[in-house]
Homo-oligomer: A and B are copies of this chain.
Amino acid sequence: MHRQMEDHRSSAFPAFTRSILSRLPHIVHQTKGEAFVFPATGSAMWEAALVNTMNPGSRLLAPRFGQFSHLFIQTARALGHTVDVIEEPWGEVADPAKIEAALAADTNHEIQGVLLVHNETATGVTTNVAAVRAAMDRAKHPALLLVDGVSSIASLDFRFDDWRVDCAITGSQKGFMLPAGLGILYMSEQALARVEQCTMPRAYFDLRAMRTNNAQGYFPSTPALSLLYGLDEALTMLLDEGMEQVAARHRFLATGVRAAVNAWGLRECAKRPDIASDSLTAVVVPDGHDARKVIDIAFSRYDIALGSGLSELAGKVFRIGHLGDMNALTLTAALGGVEMALVDAGIHVTLGSGVGAALTCWRTPGK
């Protein structure tokens, strides 16, 4: 990213644009449809997906099981849509059976889209998107499937084609290992077919102008070049490693973190092991303790940034991210910092216990 900015209107620019846009789909195993990049954030892509596919006042369906599924719903409502919400306890994931039931009950096919968060950053759980798609199929419902992949895409396995996702949403600052500032949107052919006739008023996020310009190798407004240079390099790194290997690496690291939490005698926010996220772990502090104290101590004394509990989880959990440019040793450092902060906050753990459990997972004698 430390390069001189080039002229984004020059005759040499389209080759760069195409290199980005042609490789983005490989990250999610997409072979049909298109990928788009905006100077924006992941949450802006919620809006971009909605304004290009949903007419004003549409009816949508969404399970809510954490702060980011909540915000996705709020975005849709702010844009004037009606959202039928399926509430789940935070720490759980979307329930395909309930989605199937809700869609089956919508015999007039009023529901235009299902809003789904793949990996709920607030609670550290991963929804089974394939199961949700299967539920939609069983209900024989034509709603589009809009998936937030902010903390999964480029880290966890994401099968755009296989799961028949219609809109997949992410940003630059998680799996792509970049600063924030780019929103990335994947659209299926079905979703693209809606763009032209969609009557939602829109300008900046209008994919019509974007597609016209992208087709020539340009962007409708000035692109965020320094971040695009970073994205170009991130794509090379990720695709050189291979997306299966990227997902395996996140699973490998997550296993160690979960072993550490277990060794500390604490429990995860994720209610079941099979839904625990491989990209971050939310840890519940014992009753009578405030997770914010752990987070403050970790930050001020040990220079570790832990995620805080959001909304109804405030004070109850802290979150350890393990996605992006990390390895066993950077996580060892993080776990060591967490251990000291826990003890300082009055939560008894044996110093070294979590790290030792993680190292036992991460030791790779056969490598």
Q: Which residues on A are within 8 Å of B, measured CB to CB?
A: 1-2, 5-12, 38-44, 46-47, 56, 74-75, 78-80, 171, 173, 179-181, 201-206, 220-227, 296, 299-305, 307-308, 327-330, 332-334, 336-337, 339-340, 343-344, 350-357, 359-360, 362-365, 367
- CB-CB < 8 A to A2: which residues of B? 2
Other-chain residue from B7, B220, B226 in contact with A299 (beta carbon distance below 8 A):
B7
Instruction: Give chain B residues whose Cβ lies under 8 Å from the Cβ of A350.
Output: 356
Q: Do B333 and A221 have beta carbons less than 8 Å apart? A: no
Q: Is the CB of A5 within 8 A of B179?
A: yes
| Inter-chain contacts of A202 with B (CB < 8 A) | 78-79
* A303 contact from B11, B299, B327, Cβ within 8 A: B327
Q: Is the CB of B329 within 8 A of A355?
A: no
Q: How far is the CB of A5 from chain B (nearest CB, A)?
A: 5
- Contact check, B41 vs A224: say whether CB atoms are below 8 A apart: yes
| A–B Cβ pairs within 8 angstroms, 12 of them | A11-B299, A39-B180, A42-B221, A43-B204, A179-B225, A180-B224, A181-B227, A300-B367, A332-B333, A340-B359, A340-B363, A351-B356
Q: Which has the most chain B C-beta neighbours within 10 Å: A180, A328, A330, A354?
A: A180
With a cutoff of 8 Å between Cβ atoms, the chain B residues found around residue A343 in the complex are: 363, 365
Which residues of chain B are within 8 angstroms of A171 by Cβ–Cβ distance? Answer: 222
Question: In whole Å, how far is A59's beta carbon from the nearest beta carbon of chain B?
Answer: 15
Contacts of A221 in B (CB 8 A): 41-44
Given contacts A56-B201, A181-B224, A336-B355, 19 further A-B contacts (CB under 8 A): A7-B305, A9-B307, A11-B300, A38-B40, A40-B204, A41-B221, A42-B221, A43-B204, A44-B221, A74-B203, A181-B225, A302-B328, A303-B329, A329-B336, A329-B337, A332-B337, A340-B359, A343-B365, A352-B354
B351 touches A353 (CB 8 A): no
Is there contact, CB below 8 Å, between B222 and A301? no
Kindly list chain B residues whose C-beta atoms are within 8 Å of the C-beta of A225: 179-181
A339 interface neighbour in B6, B302, B359, Cβ under 8 Å: B359
